[in-house]
Chain A
Amino acid sequence: MHKHIQHEIVNVIAQIILLFPFLIGLIIYFLAIVISHRKQRPWTVYRTLCWITGSTFAIIAVVGPLAVRAHIDFSAHMLIHLFLGMLAPLLMVLAAPITLILRALSVQHAKLLTNWLRSRFIRIISDPVIASILNIGGLWLLYTTNLFTTMHENVILYVVIHLHIFLAGYVFTLSFIYIEPTPHRRSYLYRSVMIVLALAGHGILAKYLYANPPAGVSYRQGEIGSMLMYYGGDLVDMMIIVILCWQWYKETCPRMNIKIAGKKVPID
């Protein structure tokens, strides 16, 4: 009984702390849109919608009934993992918050931000290899050690791990598809090879969990959660791959037609 009440308190505190950054994110995003509009630089509705839905998925993952259920139900936990670590990051990368902030800031402050984006720290962390290790490696650590059990008893650990899941997912997505100004670019081939390896790491872990669920998770729950992780991961990764290929397709566009004396002439 005592343990149950303690769990409840841990739940509530964790929910409040984790809700905070996403609310701030929404407020800053809207503030930046307002300032940008005042500077006569309108912002697209599509990106705004991406930010709102992305934030919503993240918030659903950390507060409310699903978040509470995730403490006892492994498949609910996996759904949270998909929302917080994959879907929300993808939508929020598509919302291009850095580009928006750069528009809203004064030239002087924008320069500071771009300098920071050019820094060695960002170069290292936004390399697909490092981003994949932080993201997929973190998951291996979480599910194959007793970290998963400990996380549900320790509020600090719970918050840190959930923030890590989101941030790692965000940086991961950012390192593969270039929506924002990207000073440290990597070739399409490099990113393609890495996304295959990262997806493989994710899939292998998902199947491994099918037979070896984390401590305290029943076999049946492990099986459902594992399949959710596997196919859900495929779905979100498919979107990243499509965007990556689409960007390649646009970039390699040949100059199909040129006009010579008003007549369209195809060239190679």
Chain B
Amino acid sequence: MDKANTNTNNHANYLQRNLWSGILFGLGLVAFLDETLFHQLLHWHHFYDKSTTNIGLISDGLFHAFSWFATIAGLFLFADLRRRKEWIVTKWWGGVLLGGGTFQLYDGTIQHKLMRIHQIRYVDNVIVYDVIWNIIAILMVVMGIIMIRKRGDKHA
């Protein structure tokens, strides 16, 4: 295999790593903001809602653990890309938006509504909050996909 070929392979590998690093970090970031902003500072979310189903409890536990790991692992992957000079700005931020948006959408639809882990806020017309929450999530996913699909990957 000649040198040029090896380099292309390397870049393809790092393209994937850029995406994964972004997705993991984005997912972790949204979960972290959820925890600090809505649980700890605003007290909009409850630590545990008595109407939570068993499957909801398990899903919440798995997602919390995974996002906790993802934040840290995503940042270490990011640091690795930086030192290799393989960090691709658009792909990485696209990954962040895609990961964060997907988690928020899953949280807003399945975890809040289906599994009833907790609600965004304990008010009468919570539907307004739900709609805003999920629209933001969808926008993040769409923007993320557009950024990832964008041609001409510039290295930082």
Contact = CB atoms under 8 A, between A and B. Distances in A.
A108 B58 CA distance: 50
B76 A203 contact: no
A9 interface: no
Contacts of B84: 254, 268
A204 interface: yes
B69 A192 contact: yes
Contacts, number: 70
Contacts of B65: 196-200, 202-203
- Majority-rule SS of A interface residues: helix
B110 to A, nearest CB: 17
B10 A241 contact: no
A241 B10 CA distance: 27
Given A211-B50, A242-B72, A246-B76, A268 B64 contact: no
B83 interface: yes
B72 A234 contact: no
B69 A241 contact: yes
A200 B80 CA distance: 27
B61 A196 contact: no
A248 interface: yes
B66 A200 contact: yes
Contacts of B50: 211
A230 B73 CA distance: 21
Interface string B53-90: 00001101110111011001100100110011100000
A237 B68 contact: yes
Interface string B1-45: 000000100100000000000000000000000000000000000
Contacts of B73: 192, 241, 245
A227 B58 CA distance: 16
Contact of B68 (A208, A226, A241): A241
Interface in A175-224: 192, 195-204, 207-208, 210-211
B76 to A, nearest CB: 4
Contact of A268 (B7, B58, B61, B80): B7
B47 interface: yes
Contacts of A230: 47
B47 A227 contact: yes
Contacts of A242: 72
A249 interface: yes
A96 to B, nearest CB: 23
A162 B57 CA distance: 28
A248 B68 contact: no
A195 B7 contact: no
A237 B48 CA distance: 21
B83 A204 contact: no
Contacts of B47: 207, 210, 227, 230
A13 interface: no
Nearest to A248: B76
Contacts of B48: 207, 210-211, 226
Contacts of B7: 268
For A195, A200, A227, the residue with the greatest tally of chain B CB atoms inside 10 Å of its CB is A200
Interface string A46-63: 000000000000000000
Contact of A203 (B61, B72, B79, B85): B61
16 contacts: A192-B73, A196-B65, A197-B65, A200-B61, A200-B62, A200-B66, A203-B64, A211-B48, A226-B48, A241-B69, A245-B76, A246-B76, A249-B79, A253-B83, A268-B7, A268-B84
